[in-house]
Amino acid sequence: MRPISSFLVRIFSFLSKELIEILRQPKLILTLILGPFLILLLFGVGYTNQRVPERTMFVLQQDNPFNEQIQSKLEELDYVIDLVGTTDNFELMISNLNRNAIDLGVVIPDNVYETISSNQQATIEMYHNQIDPNQVAYVEYMGSFLAQSINRQLIQSVAEEGQTEAENIAPLLESALEDTRNARLMLEQGDVISAQGHQREVRRNLSTLQVAVSASATLLQGVSPTFGGFEQGEADILKTLQTTRDNPAIAQDIQDSQDNYDEQIAALKVEEENLLNLQQQLESYTSISPAIITRPFVSKIQAISQTEISPTDFFIPGVIVLLLQHMTITLSSLSLVRERRAGTMELFRVSPLKPIEILFSKYFSYMFIGLLIAAILILAVRYGLNSTMLGSWLDLLIIVVLLLFASLGIGFIISFLSQTETQSVQLSMIALLFSVFFSGFFLDLRYLLYPVRYISYLIPATYGTQTMQNVMLRGMGIQLSSLVNLIIFSVILFVLAWVFLRRAMAHE
């Protein structure tokens, strides 16, 4: 029992020593506790995921036929484009870009119809003065989006004209179908004279239909049958109409002296079905909105999680991990440097304390301090900022403990490599920079190429960020791979710190 009690006394002696040293520095307490929370609060209040519309100036001639269409389209795009004005002066637009008066300049080409008629695409030119690659990529997306929007509007106009022409053809087709049906009915009733009259009307209506279809430039193909339009193109429609006209039951006058009219009745019934099929396709085509014809598909994004995650919620786990790791590394890295500077290491060397006891006591002390600060920070974020917490608090505690344990190992190794406090702080900042860029907080790891990505897997914050996001935002448990990797890192760093401490005490 005596060795155990002595061991506990030494551990709590170190704990009281570190606590007293920290409590004697009120500013340090404020920095460690209020500082991280204020950083999170400022980040949460200031960050917005809404993009400010681009200040845009259009360059186009006043007599440009697309002027009215562009104006109407811009009203729909006010969430991405803030129209500053339109001009026909290209140099004025460039001058505004140079003065940062606008973000985007769009040049609408002249002679658009002539360009398209010559089997060439009309080019919408977009000018910017951005240096941020992300902003440049967004401008490129804006150019594609604007061109697609204008293309859609033009196609919708064509579809509207096609439907108007189809509606004009509908009465002619209805008359032809009605006369064909009446001719058949009159023959079935033996009224040859009336059937002959309806036959002549059918021929006249079919001739008018052929002319109307041939003159309909926007009805060349109707619309793809995939979207519910005509199953036949213009050539097929004209062929159907011509076949109907050439049918002997239509083209040849019905004779009065025939014994029966079964052959003509059957032929008229076939042509009646053909015309009825055309009519049904025409009704289907005109019943679809032009907006649906030009945009038949829309996307709907659904997450399997029932909780909506805001941008602030997404970044909070990563910020917590980085703050805890940096705080722990900084405190532990300064600890042994100060011990050496104050000559305490010499006292440790002549005392009965063993290196493993000193290191274990340091770990215990800073783990206690780190857990205390982590609890205050996490509870303040959860209930102060109302951040999302879907998972288990026990899982969150486990990942925080492992993160602090691994971070302490990094900090103690830094303290052995540093000769002064300045060097210790500098190395701690380098560790923070590594974590910011390679832990997945600032950039998704999928965007890092191998072998650079391997650096990420050597940083405790990588596993801490991923696991804490899964626990807090997805409600998942700790993944076995992350748990094992953190344990392995923690043990390796602890062993290295112990080896460095033994060597340092031996040299003292």
Of the spans 40-54, 195-209, 222-236, 432-446, which averages the highest pLDDT? 432-446
Identify the pLDDT of residue 453. 83
Average pLDDT of span 5-32:
60
State yes or no: pLDDT of 185 exceeds 70: yes
How would residue 284 be classed by pLDDT, with cut points 50, 70 and 90? low
* pLDDT computed for residue 397 by the predictor: 93
pLDDT at 221: 47
User: Where residue 260 falls among pLDDT bands split at 50, 70, 90?
Assistant: confident
Interval 356-367: pLDDT, tens: 877 888 888 888
Q: pLDDT category, 399, cuts 50, 70, 90?
A: very high
- pLDDT confidence tier of residue 1, bands split at 50, 70 and 90: very low
User: What is the pLDDT at residue 117?
Assistant: 67
For the chain, percent of residues with pLDDT exceeding 70: 66
Between 70 and 128, where is the model more confident? 128
Most confident option among 22-26, 347-351, 404-408: 404-408
**Among 38-47, 402-411, 450-459, where is mean pLDDT lowest?**
38-47
**Residue 400: which pLDDT band, with cuts at 50, 70 and 90?**
very high
Q: How many beta carbons lie within 10 A of that of residue 304, not counting itself? A: 5
* 127-170 pLDDT tens trace: 888 777 777 888 888 778 777 777 777 777 766 666 666 666 67
DSSP state letter for 444: -
pLDDT of residue 393: 92
pLDDT (mean) for 59-71? 70
Report residue 314 as tokens. 């997404």
What does the pLDDT average to over 110-135?
A: 77
Q: What is the pLDDT of residue 405?
A: 93
Mean pLDDT across 167-184:
74
Note the pLDDT of residue 219: 43
Q: Rg for the chain (alpha carbons), in Å?
A: 40
Q: State the pLDDT at residue 401.
A: 93
Question: What pLDDT does residue 3 have?
Answer: 58
Q: What is d(CA 206, CA 250) in angstroms, rounded to the nearest whole number? A: 10
Domains and their CATH numbers in the chain: 2-47+310-507 (no CATH), 54-129 (3.40.1710.10), 166-293 (1.20.120)
pLDDT of residue 348: 64
Compute the C-alpha angle 473/479/481, nearest 5°.
140
Residue 414 has pLDDT above 50, yes or no: yes
CA 404 vs CA 360, 372, 400, 469: distances in Å = 14, 11, 6, 17
What are the Cα distances from residue 401, in Å, to 160, 391, 404, 464?
Answer: 66, 16, 5, 10
Is the distance from CB of 424 to CB of 333 less than 8 angstroms? yes
- Helix intervals (H) in 418-479: 421-438, 453-456, 460-469
The pLDDT-based confidence of 404 (bands split at 50, 70, 90) is very high
Provide the CA 122 distance to its chain's centre, in angstroms: 29
Task: Report helix, strand or coil for 506.
Answer: helix
- Write the DSSP assignment of 80-142 as a string of letters: TEEEEEEES-HHHHHHHHHTTS-SEEEEPPS-HHHHHHTT-PPP-EEE-----HHHHHHHHHH
Mean pLDDT of the chain: 75
pLDDT at 136: 80
CA geometry: angle at 393 spanning 388 and 398, to 5°? 120
Count Cβ atoms below 10 Å from residue 102 Cβ, excluding itself: 23
Following DSSP, what letter does each residue of 273-301 receive, concatenated?
Answer: HHHHHHHHHHHHHHHS-HHHHH-------
What's the confidence (pLDDT) of residue 223?
A: 40
Q: What is the mean pLDDT of residues 58-77?
A: 70
pLDDT at position 426 is 83
Highest-pLDDT range among 77-91, 299-313, 343-357:
77-91
| pLDDT, tens only, 208-250 | 666 666 555 444 444 444 334 444 555 566 666 667 666 666 6
